[in-house]
Amino acid sequence: MSTNSNFEQPTVVMGCQCALVSAGYLAIFAVAYRLLTSIWNIVGPYVLFSPIDLKKRAGAGWAVVTGATDGIGKAYAFELARRGFNVFLVSRTQSKLDETKKEILEKYQNIEIRTYSYDFTNAAVSGYQDLLAELNQVEIGVLINNVGLSYEYPEVLHKVDGGIERLANITTINTLPPTLLSAGILPQMVERKAGVIVNVGSSAGANQMTLWAVYSATKKYVSWLSGILRKEYESHGITIQTIAPMMVATKMSKVKKTSFFTPNGEQFVKSALNTIGNAADTTGYISHQLQLEVMDLIPEFIRDKILTNMSFGTRKAALRKREREAKSQ
C-alpha cells in the first residue's frame, strides 16, 4: 500500500503543475487577444482601411437624417450633401429646417433637399405612419437615426431636471425613432438588396453610468438593437452600423471648445462616415476609440469608480453654474 502511494503522489503533483501551466498560458493568450483586438479596433477602421464607395453600398441617391438641424445631425446632412446625396431633413422646428435647407443648397447646388417637421416626443403610431409615408416617396439609400435627448446635467433618477416628463421624452426619443424608422424604411432596402442604416448611440451605453440611468440605458438599447438587426439583415446586402461617440463639441453636449479628444460635428462626421462598411460598432472617431479601448482594459470596479466620480464632478459644476446664474438675475 505504501509503495503504490509513493508512485501516485508525483503523478498528482505533475498533474497540478500541468493544469497551472495551462491556465497561465490561457491567461496570457486572453490578455494578448484583448490587447490585439483593442489595437485593431483603433488602427483598422481609422488608419488601415480605405473608405468604401458609400453611393454603391447605399444603392440609392437619398439620405434621411433625423435631428438634422443641430450638432452631429446637421453635420451628417452637410457631409452627405457634399458626397452627392439628396438629403431628407427631419427635425422638430420647420423654421430651423428651412434655414438648414437654405444653408446646404447655398453650398451644394446640384442636389435636392426635402424637409419634414416632426416632434419625436410624439410616440403615436399614426404620426410615424405619416412621416414614413413621406419618406418612402423617395429611394432611400442611407438612414441616419441621429435624433436624441439627454439630461440637462447628471442626476439620480427621481431628481432629474424636468421630472418624469423629461424621463419619458428621453426614453421615447432615444428608442422609438431607430426602431420604427428602420422598420419602415428597411422594406425598400431589402427589395433593392442595398442600403445603409446608421444608428447614433453614445459611449454612455457601454457602461452602467451612475447619474445617467435612463440616457445610458436607452443608448445601450440602440447598440443592442443595431447588433440584432445586423444579424437579421446581413444576407440582404444591408449595412447597419452603430456609432457611439464620446464628447463632441455640439449644442447638446454643451461643450464649445474643441481638442484632440473633442472634435466638432464636422470633424466627427467626416471620420464616422468613412468607417461605414469597415466597422460595425465603433465610436466614429480615432481619439474616441482610443479612449474607449483604454477604458475597457481597466478592471470594471475601477472603471465604475472613475466614471462615477466624473458624473458627480459634472453634476457639481452644473449646479454651481446654475447657482451663479440665479444670483446674477
Are 210 and 155 spatial neighbours (Cβ–Cβ below 8 Å)? no
233 is catalytic: no
Looking at 76, 215, 233, 285, which residue is catalytic? 215
Q: Answer yes or no: are the C-beta atoms of 188 and 236 closer than 8 Å.
A: no
- Please give the C-alpha separations between residue 83 and each of 80, 99, 160, 233, in angstroms, as whole numbers: 5, 20, 40, 25
Q: Which amino acid is at 1?
A: M
Q: How far is CA 302 from CA 156, 228, 277, 299, 314, in A?
A: 21, 30, 34, 6, 19
The DSSP symbol for 47 reads I
Cell of 82: 457634399
- Integer distance in angstroms from the first to the last C-alpha of the chain? 94
What cell does 179 get? Answer: 426602431
Residue with the three cell numbers 452627392: 84
Active site residues: 215
